[in-house]
Structure 1
């Protein structure tokens, strides 16, 4: 059984977040390393968020991160390829940026655009793999070829390929009735010229309607 199948079957067995986390923690080594964030929300007064990872013995793993019945619950959480106990520098920055967005924006479209701007935040070009821990938006760079070893690739290298942020996604769930969810995904880069090993990806401008029409996917549904 794959991880998603396991998730669906256990979700059907119980809607209790803590009970589900307890079930998953009994078989953590059946799958490659993963971070899992799950939750349930009925209304503003009844929201629960839980976390599990099999990457290491993280002190948050298998526990509830947020329960709105607890007055001390935190409002913003960030997670990348590390764990909650050892956040990368870009996560600390993202949490601060998100807090600022939510304080300044109140309408749906304003918050959406603010979140996409946050996801484009970059600390500069990638010169080593460690740089990816510091930048939210990973500008395209060439992965090392077999010949280059640990060195970053160069254009034209036989085995090199582009690596970077491919898409950005924002999911929003309303706090008040009528309850709705909005899912928006955007391609971040595109190859404008005919693609070959020398073609560098181009950052897409979503201020252009043609770009938005071809590189944005938006879905809305009632809860």
Structure 2
């Protein structure tokens, strides 16, 4: 399933403010083979975890590139799914490797949305704001490609259970996405968003902010009954719907197995922290962090 909380501000007012604060959980079968986050791609410029499930190798749920392209995916809770549908994880990987901008990519995806089981997809582009930090080679690349040295950050959303067209999130704000449409007020989503908002509105050092967000992502409090979630999940067992009512899902063999926090500040610094379950054991975890500057 999965859950994502994010604060988006394309024009932060202060030097120390963040353009993006994102905290996300990946919920999956504990024994589904996957690779923890690492850099990959032709120039090792893409950072994400990867699905290793047979037939779906190379798909992902959340990733970012050194050039500022970001994508994140959640499944849509539905009672019946098509076992022959295309793998949704490729929607993330394809965007990170594709040359299309975020809105154009989602328009293409929307034209093919019927080929997939229910999903929500966020795509974004974060632009270099400080061109003086670019290397000679990067500046030359920008001139040759006729791309601007600086530009507006863009974040877009599309759900194939929603309207036919993707939308641009033009307003700065705090958003939340689970396994329904963007901002659907499930109880667990509202609870997590309140906690997320209280943290991101405080002034914290980056390390402290990451730890506070990881704490929120591991909140196992159940939020049942939730008629809205239960009606969408008709066909699921009562026990499973109860487990899915928490920000951090725990059930036999299935649940939250990765937490990810991404920070992008006004100085083009990116911080990516992933906490990953080891050996299908909810008591064993590995945390790793990556830091880099956006490139044009």
TM-score (ref. length: structure 1): 0.65
After the TM superposition, which residues 1-223 of structure 1 pair with which residues of structure 2 at under 5 Å, given as runs? 3-4=91-92, 6-8=94-96, 11-12=98-99, 14-15=100-101, 17-42=102-127, 43=129, 46-54=152-160, 56=161, 58-59=162-163, 62-64=166-168, 66-67=169-170, 73-84=171-182, 86-124=184-222, 128-139=239-250, 141-142=251-252, 162-174=253-265, 176-177=266-267, 179-188=268-277, 201-203=281-283, 215-223=286-294
1:166 is paired with a residue whose SS is strand
> Which deviates more, 182-191 or 114-123?
182-191
> What is the distance in 2 between the residues matched to 1:25 and 1:49?
16
- 5+ residue gaps, structure 2, are 1-85, 130-149, 225-237
> What is the distance in 2 between the residues matched to 1:180 and 1:216?
20
2:273 is paired with a residue whose SS is strand
Give the greater-gyration-radius structure (CA): 1
> What is the distance in 2 between the residues matched to 1:166 and 1:19?
32
TM-score (ref. length: structure 2): 0.50
Deviation at 1:106, TM superposition (A): 2.5
Deviation at 1:39, TM superposition (A): 1.3
Is the alpha carbon distance of 1:7 and 1:45 closer, same or farther for their aligned partners in structure 2, counting shifts above 3 Å?
Answer: closer
1:83 is paired with a residue whose SS is coil
Deviation at 1:187, TM superposition (A): 2.7
Q: Deviation string for 1:99-128 (max 9, x for gaps)?
A: 100122421001100100110112149971
Contact 1:89 1:133 in 2 (8 A): no
Greater fraction strand: 2
Contact 2:121 2:159 in 1 (8 A): yes
Is the alpha carbon distance of 1:219 and 1:85 closer, same or farther for their aligned partners in structure 2, counting shifts above 3 Å?
Answer: closer
Select the structure with the greater relative contact order (CA < 8 A; seq sep ≥ 6): 2
Is the alpha carbon distance of 1:48 and 1:92 closer, same or farther for their aligned partners in structure 2, counting shifts above 3 Å?
Answer: same
RMSD: 3.1
Count, aligned residues = 172
Contact 2:125 2:154 in 1 (8 A): yes
- 5+ residue gaps, structure 1, are 68-72, 143-161, 192-200, 205-210
Deviation at 1:130, TM superposition (A): 1.7
Is the alpha carbon distance of 1:7 and 1:104 closer, same or farther for their aligned partners in structure 2, counting shifts above 3 Å?
Answer: closer
